[in-house]
Structure 1
């Protein structure tokens, strides 16, 4: 079997190498001729799997995306061609939870806020949104959950988007869709942006096109700018560079880029391809991960907000990602966005750090108790 995989997908050689020929390539620039003789294609969100890409695929029997979202894959085309498909739902929800927690603590330091008692709205209450909500509640925040499709399906305890947009912090965790009653393209549009008040905080760690970036720039250039955390951008890897100076935290679509999250994505496709080929699942996820640099801390008291921020930075420093992004943009390098993703340092999840002594509150924030 020949497997073609995105070069940013870890552990493909370890998982597939003993029974398949593994070839890796940049996911954004895959060409149709590279799929000749390929049996399985493994991608991430930057690869558009469509008629054009598959035009020369003569042996393809399996496509997998190591991501939660599937909007970059023409699943109807795969079904018509009899090509099996698999994704990795929930694989990076923990990593995104870590990212948003780190962002909230950075925002709190910037605005001199105590987060306990503040309101956070999660727009999109699926796997990732629920993880973010759990972290926020661990900080003592009041959480509003907004998910119109879930509400229509009968879920309770949800608010509409107008109420969600009144929260102190609004975090977006929706897929990108362009049609239907709940289309998310420019869900945060100019009229909604104009109605927000200056003390509000917006976080986007889902898809760049969910926010109208030009409308945001107009708001930020006015007299009452918002506080923005942006991991995703319209038209990636291109972006509206003029917006970046008006963003508190700017990163290169790496919110879900923990080593564990990427490993879960690859492992989900390993299991799916084993099932597809009727092969035994001979490897285990835990054996892929190295020991963390810091595995435990001893606490004498339950940590306050400032101490939680210090513990988060022991594992993940979001300010370093922001600094790398701004340096890359300032360099003028055309491909800086993809380079940051390709060369992203191994980032462990907060769950790699165990609290010893006082453990109350550890797990709800994502740490190990």
Structure 2
């Protein structure tokens, strides 16, 4: 049998090539090629191992007639066109946990540098100034560290900070009380963290929920004299607002390893005496680069030789026999999970996935993985059907799978129930007609109210009083704002009681329109949705 052939196109630890060879692959290491050169060469290979330099464009993928898998040694995959790769049947993998310790240590190093003004003191000393009287630092012992994000990296930072005798508080929507106790932090809301923290460090991906999480308004709520560290993602902080608060002295210092625009050639923060920065060095240690190189080689070789799938961003862990039957159920499950994730915010300690009727005869793991991927995508930009269960376990979320073969109203049903601070919340869906690729997926129940709707594209969810004239008022509002309605889906508990409305629309609902909808007579709650 012909061995799979792999190209390593970016510089990485030489042991990666050894692992490929030991596990039954032929490997070429050819780095530094232009896009044109790679375009000519790529058709020879079954696997492509990259870091950040190689750009995997549609043109490259079109030429990669044999390619089965792309492996990114690291987390970010901005240099890979994942949707196009999926369309070409190419699996895209990354190594999301290989540089966790390194990034956490960099955050701690930046915090210590801020506390003692080490870069500034070093510059003055080397300039022959001996500026001893110019620098008065602060101790970290006894200070309160606020973590925004308490996942894999955040929990490592917490452990290191506790070793420095700091008190650690954390804001993370998925941090359960049990997990908080386990890692020794106090779970707080964001405002509580901003008011109490002497140091704030961010460890969250950049999503719609976290973009500008430290906005001008949020920064204004921080404790006077706070010091802020970001070694996570650019875009989490309003850099102009941070510069203003540094200049006023409200923020005593800031340390950034990441910027909204990179490479950062200019910034309102540059040149400030109480600001230090590094050029995205969070993962730049010998150990981390070795780890991610070895991991990507192991994952790719396992897939090419044995068919195993680990940390894939566009493919669940499925056998060839299961895939055709499970694919439409997974599409339905992901949409149900996404719906819950967008509506049921706050602490979610328990999630149950119940399969009823025909669905109960299937392997529940991929379906549960799809639910979790949809649920957590609002809070993580690297979550997928493979690593979602791991991320849920890491955060202490209890996941239950229930099979129920009884005959109900529907021949097949998937129900997702989450435990929230306000009690259990449940959504359910089924498959109708031609369910290939999720095309027949339908919502059948939302929070105890029966409703039939497709979950697709941009939508608007409204909870309202069931009363005459309401539909007309909402329709008029959409028309006045130039929003075309695709479908109008209604449900209610009883006549004259609580009702729900799901609108599919042809463009995203702006915050301004959502706020106007909230003011319509009879409206109780409004939430724009996207699938």
TM-score, scaled relative to structure 1: 0.65
Give the whole-Å Cα distance in 2 for the aligned partners of 1:45 and 1:158.
Answer: 35
Root mean square deviation, CA, Å? 3.0
Question: Residue by residue, what CA displacement relative to the aligned partner does 1:224-272 show, whole Å, maximum 9, x if unpaired?
Answer: 3431111111111134344122253210101221111111101111101
Match of 1:36 among 35, 42, 57: 42
Change (3 A) 1:191 1:80: same
Q: Does 1:6 align with 2:10?
A: yes
Change (3 A) 1:114 1:216: closer
Give the whole-Å Cα distance in 1 for the aligned partners of 2:80 and 2:287.
Answer: 24
Give the whole-Å Cα distance in 2 for the aligned partners of 1:165 and 1:34.
Answer: 53
Q: Does 1:84 align with 2:91?
A: yes
Contact 1:4 1:25 in 2 (8 A): no
Residue 146 of structure 1 and its aligned partner are, at CA, apart by 1.7
More strand per residue: 2
Q: Does 1:147 align with 2:153?
A: no
Match of 1:159 among 167, 178, 188: 188
Aligned residue for 1:169?
199
Change (3 A) 1:65 1:117: same
Q: Does 1:252 align with 2:255?
A: no
Change (3 A) 1:13 1:271: closer
Give the whole-Å Cα distance in 2 for the aligned partners of 1:126 and 1:61.
Answer: 31
Give the whole-Å Cα distance in 2 for the aligned partners of 1:75 and 1:41.
Answer: 14
Query: What are the within-5 Å matches in structure 2 for residues 123-134 of structure 1?
Result: 123-134=148-159
More helix per residue: 1
Residue 14 of structure 1 and its aligned partner are, at CA, apart by 4.7
Contact 2:224 2:250 in 1 (8 A): yes
Change (3 A) 1:48 1:197: farther
Aligned residue for 1:345?
none
Give the whole-Å Cα distance in 2 for the aligned partners of 1:242 and 1:35.
Answer: 43
Aligned residue for 1:115?
140
Give the whole-Å Cα distance in 2 for the aligned partners of 1:203 and 1:162.
Answer: 17
Aligned residues: 272
Q: Does 1:103 align with 2:110?
A: yes
Contact 2:69 2:90 in 1 (8 A): yes
Q: Provide the secondary structure at the position in 2 that maps to 1:210.
A: coil
Q: Provide the secondary structure at the position in 2 that maps to 1:67.
A: coil
Match of 2:229 among 203, 206, 223: 203
Q: Does 1:269 align with 2:296?
A: yes
Q: Provide the secondary structure at the position in 1 that maps to 2:280.
A: coil
Q: Which has the higher contact order (CA 8 A, sep 6+)?
A: 1
Match of 1:24 among 19, 31, 34: 31
Q: Provide the secondary structure at the position in 1 that maps to 2:86.
A: helix
Identify the range of structure 1 (210-219 vs 139-148) with the bigger mean alpha-carbon deviation.
Answer: 210-219
Q: Provide the secondary structure at the position in 1 that maps to 2:104.
A: helix
Contact 1:123 1:173 in 2 (8 A): yes
Residue 177 of structure 1 and its aligned partner are, at CA, apart by 1.6
TM-score, scaled relative to structure 2: 0.46
Structure 1 stretches of 4+ with a deviation exceeding 6 A read none
Give the whole-Å Cα distance in 1 for the aligned partners of 2:215 and 2:52.
Answer: 24
Residue 109 of structure 1 and its aligned partner are, at CA, apart by 2.1
Q: Provide the secondary structure at the position in 2 that maps to 1:226.
A: strand
Question: Residue by residue, what CA displacement relative to the aligned partner does 1:94-143 show, whole Å, maximum 9, x if unpaired?
Answer: 11222122223222323532212101111111111111111000000011
Q: Provide the secondary structure at the position in 2 that maps to 1:238.
A: coil
Identify the range of structure 1 (216-225 vs 242-251) with the bigger mean alpha-carbon deviation.
Answer: 216-225
Give the whole-Å Cα distance in 1 for the aligned partners of 2:268 and 2:46.
Answer: 43
Aligned residue for 1:232?
258
Change (3 A) 1:59 1:205: same
